[in-house]
């Protein structure tokens, strides 16, 4: 076996050293594209996932969210919960919210929405809502009878044409809001918000006190308590600490909530990701096999000669396994260089999705390692199988074709 | 040393079968330099390929030093080709991406010798065929005669029992042919190398001890030659 390896290595190294350099460059180029094909789309999908999960943190859920237990609609005494949460080490900020269902009408256009009652001054530390006002102003501490409308329902933002909208509502327009308990109230539009995210742009915001009054709530009720933390990645520890601090409501991390809420979207993307990886793998395997097979067919006579002079078929097969591993290794290196260049490019020039969503691809080291292992495994198979098949042919057929 | 009994090689079967060899028998002694001659299609190359274990006979028996090599399994035939048999091809059959030395020492490495030892053996073999100093050249940088001499060096480096040569001068001019035949003659005269060579050139018989002539797959004459290439 040692002799087979030594001879296989000698045959492979002389082939690399004195083989056609243009062919080598071409093979490496094609292999680098195969590698790119394996890693690029998953990176883009990873970027989309980061974008969506970022939305989850920046708007509805923060880093950790506390919700009522069981069938309860509200967290009772949310201020007490907030006091306990704010005392937890690692918590940067927390606020309470009241989400209710309502319909808004304006000039005979009616749209169903979720209206979130919030404490505006606290939201600056919690969410991006105060920073996505494209027209008008965000709510203030004294805002009463004022509302912030999402751009999609206002009829001004991207995507308005897809959803029912109020038909060009502007800052200063008056809209009627009918809450789920039947109470109807007129609000003046204070601002239009555009977060380029349906969960935001199809909603409306009012002051917390508005919802309290409309629903007659007392003793600081809330549908959720949204928490931001100091250090990303410590959500689960903070979740435990909040429970330990005596909060008996349900405590979720943003990931828990994202899983349920955007699970379907992620599953769809995950399915696309798996399919794309599978197709890339099949295409990659086929291409590597074709490249190496053509290379071997061109050297069929040489294989016959090697057999005729007494070189073992095992040495011959090993030489092609070495050769194809070498080609694929160079292909991976070139592919990595190409991939990282493209990553740098797309970090600086993100892909714009739905006109406003900027997707920056994510470099996933595990994906890269998996792809490298896959390519190397394929290379051994692609190098071994055709060489093994040719080495099994009779010497006369391999050398003289008969 | 070599005993061939009623060797047959048919291509196809039934009435349409081509009888490339149709019952050939002869013996070759150690140290002989034998030429196999005959017109094109007479079966001489087929015979040589069977003797060198590159092809199988349809029927008959073939032994080297009493060992019935014709019935050996492929792995043992491969080992036999590596260690006992040298084969010189008509078209040199060198590996184009290997230097002259690599073409020669790859076999020594296959036999288990170290790279250093193999390289030394290759240099000696190349020197023996007059190619000292050209060991690093690849086949494309050598003339036809030089390529054939590399092929001979490859065949003799492992010091085989028998060396087979299939029309080794077919692609060479007279001058290069003489150089190649001189190498064979030297190996035969001074090193006792047994050589079996297929040729269709009558002037080559000046170099050999014996001429076996085939016609339509049948041995028609087997004659000893004197130094002038005439029948004894």
Among A221, A248, A275, which residue terminates a domain? A248
B9 to chain A, closest Cα gap in Å = 14
- Do B55 and A395 make contact, defined as CB atoms within 8 angstroms? yes
Among A187, A218, A248, which residue terminates a domain? A248
Answer for the pair A391, A303: CB distance below 8 angstroms, yes or no: yes
Domain residue spans of chain B: 94-159
Look at chain A and report how many structural domains it folds into: 2
Query: Which among A95, A33, A84, A86 is positioned nearest to A61, based on CA atoms?
Result: A95
Q: Are residues A147 and A206 in the same domain?
A: yes
Q: Are residues A130 and A11 in the same domain?
A: no
Is A259 within a domain? no
Which segment of A15-24, A88-97, A125-134, A264-273 scores lowest on mean pLDDT? A264-273
Q: Are residues A178 and A268 in the same domain?
A: no
For the stretch B162-174, pLDDT in tens is: 889 888 888 778 8
CA distance A327 to A383: 10
CA distance B214 to B40: 10
CA distance A48 to A46: 5
Q: What angle do CA A122, A126, A128 make, to 5 degrees?
A: 110
Token pair for A240: 């435990």
- Do B95 and A305 make contact, defined as CB atoms within 8 angstroms? yes
Answer for the pair B82, B158: CB distance below 8 angstroms, yes or no: yes
CA distance B58 to A184: 103
Q: Are residues A28 and A97 in the same domain?
A: no
> Could you list the residue range(s) of the whole structural domain that residue A185 is in?
69-248
Is A60 within a domain? no
Is A64 within a domain? no
Residues 157-216 of B with CB under 8 A from A: none
Token pair for B163: 């060396």
Is A233 within a domain? yes
CA distance B137 to A337: 36
- Chain B residues within 8 A of A10 when measuring between CB atoms: 102, 106, 109
Measured between CB atoms, which of A15, A309, A315 is closest to B87? A309
DSSP B176-192: HHHHHHHHHHHHHHHH-
Q: Are residues A35 and A73 in the same domain?
A: no
Per-residue pLDDT of chain B (232 residues; tens, 9 = 90+): 889 899 899 888 777 888 888 888 999 998 899 999 988 888 888 999 998 888 888 989 888 888 888 778 888 888 888 888 888 888 888 888 899 999 998 888 888 888 898 889 888 888 877 778 888 899 899 888 888 889 888 888 887 888 898 888 887 788 878 887 888 888 888 888 899 999 888 888 888 889 999 998 888 988 887 766 566 5
Mutate to test the interface with A, among B73, B93, B158 (most CBs of A within 10 A): B93
For the stretch A272-301, pLDDT in tens is: 777 877 887 788 778 778 877 887 888 888
Answer for the pair A67, A223: CB distance below 8 angstroms, yes or no: yes
Q: Are residues A204 and A304 in the same domain?
A: no
Q: Are residues A142 and A176 in the same domain?
A: yes
Q: Which residues contact A254 (CB under 8 A, 6 or more apart)?
A: A53, A56, A57, A61, A62, A63, A64, A65, A235
For the stretch A303-359, pLDDT in tens is: 888 888 888 888 988 998 898 889 889 999 999 999 999 999 988 888 887 666 778
A258 to chain B, closest Cα gap in Å = 59
Mean pLDDT of A53-80: 89
Chain B touched by A399 (CB under 8 Å): yes
- Chain centroid offset of residue A138 CA: 30
Is A306 within a domain? yes
Interface ipTM above 0.85: no
Answer for the pair A218, A130: CB distance below 8 angstroms, yes or no: no
Is A27 within a domain? yes
Answer for the pair A28, A332: CB distance below 8 angstroms, yes or no: no
- What b-and-e string marks burial along A199-234, b requiring 16 or more CB atoms within 10 Å of the CB? bbbbbbbbbbbbbbebbebeebbbbbbbbbbeeeee
Is A116 within a domain? yes
Average pLDDT, chain B: 85
B8 to chain A, closest Cα gap in Å = 17
CA-based radius of gyration for chain A: 31
User: Measured between alpha carbons, how far apart are the two ends of chain B, in Å?
Assistant: 22
Q: Are residues A147 and A285 in the same domain?
A: no
């Amino acid at each position: 076996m040692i002799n087979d390896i030594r001879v296989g290595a000698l045959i492979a190294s002389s082939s690399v050293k004195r083989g056609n350099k243009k062919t080598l460059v071409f093979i490496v180029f094609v292999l680098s594209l195969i590698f790119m094909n394996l890693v690029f789309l998953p990176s883009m999908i990873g970027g989309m996932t980061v974008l969506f999960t970022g939305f989850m943190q920046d708007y509805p859920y923060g880093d950790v969210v506390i919700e009522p237990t069981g069938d309860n609609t509200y967290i009772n005494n949310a201020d007490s919960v907030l006091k306990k949460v704010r005392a937890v080490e690692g918590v940067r900020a927390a606020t309470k919210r009241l989400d209710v269902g309502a319909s808004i009408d304006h000039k005979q256009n009616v749209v169903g929405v979720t209206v979130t009652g919030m404490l505006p001054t606290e939201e600056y530390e919690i969410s991006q809502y105060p920073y996505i006002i494209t027209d008008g102003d965000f709510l203030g501490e004294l805002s009463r009878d004022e509302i912030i409308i999402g751009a999609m329902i206002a009829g001004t933002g991207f995507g308005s044409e897809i959803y029912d909208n109020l038909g060009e509502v502007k800052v200063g327009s008056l809209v009627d809001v009918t809450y789920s308990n039947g109470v109807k109230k007129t609000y003046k539009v204070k601002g239009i918000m555009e977060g380029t995210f349906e969960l935001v742009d199809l909603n409306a915001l009012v002051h917390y006190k508005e919802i309290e009054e409309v629903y007659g709530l007392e003793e600081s009720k809330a549908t959720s308590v949204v928490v931001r933390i100091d250090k990303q990645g410590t959500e689960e520890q903070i979740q435990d600490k909040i429970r330990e601090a005596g909060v008996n409501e349900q405590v979720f991390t943003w990931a828990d909530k994202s899983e349920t809420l955007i699970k379907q979207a992620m599953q769809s993307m995950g399915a696309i990701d798996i399919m794309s990886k599978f197709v890339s793998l099949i295409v990659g395997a086929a291409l590597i096999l074709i490249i190496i097979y053509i290379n071997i067919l061109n050297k069929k006579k040489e294989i016959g000669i090697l057999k005729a002079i007494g070189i073992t078929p095992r040495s011959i097969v090993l030489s092609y396994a070495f050769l194809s591993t070498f080609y694929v290794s160079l292909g991976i290196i070139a592919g990595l260089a190409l991939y990282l260049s493209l990553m740098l490019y797309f970090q600086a020039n993100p892909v714009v999705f739905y006109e406003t969503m900027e997707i920056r691809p994510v470099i996933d080291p595990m994906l890269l390692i998996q792809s490298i292992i896959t390519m190397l495994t394929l290379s051994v198979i692609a190098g071994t199988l055709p060489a093994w098949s040719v080495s099994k042919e009779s010497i006369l057929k391999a050398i003289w074709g008969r | 040393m070599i005993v061939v009994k009623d060797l047959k090689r048919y291509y196809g079967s039934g009435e349409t079968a081509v009888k490339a060899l149709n019952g050939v028998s002869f013996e070759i002694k150690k140290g002989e330099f034998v030429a196999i001659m005959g017109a094109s299609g007479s079966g001489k190359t087929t015979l040589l390929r069977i003797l060198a274990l590159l092809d199988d006979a349809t029927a008959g028996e073939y032994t080297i030093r009493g060992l019935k090599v014709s019935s050996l399994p492929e792995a043992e035939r491969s080992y036999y080709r590596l260690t006992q048999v040298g084969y010189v091809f008509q078209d040199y059959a060198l590996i184009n991406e290997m230097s002259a030395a690599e073409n020669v020492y790859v076999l020594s490495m296959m036999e288990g010798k170290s790279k250093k030892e193999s390289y030394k053996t290759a240099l000696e073999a190349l020197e023996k065929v007059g190619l000292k100093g050209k060991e690093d050249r690849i086949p494309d940088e050598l003339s036809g005669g030089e390529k054939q001499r590399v092929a001979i060096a490859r065949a003799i480096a492992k010091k085989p029992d028998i060396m087979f040569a299939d029309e080794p001068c077919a692609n060479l001019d007279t001058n290069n042919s003489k150089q190649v035949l001189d190498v064979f003659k030297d190996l035969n005269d001074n090193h006792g190398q047994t050589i079996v060579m297929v040729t269709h050139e009558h002037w080559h018989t000046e170099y050999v001890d014996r001429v076996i002539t085939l016609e339509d797959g049948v041995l028609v004459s087997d004659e000893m030659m004197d130094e002038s290439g005439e029948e004894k």
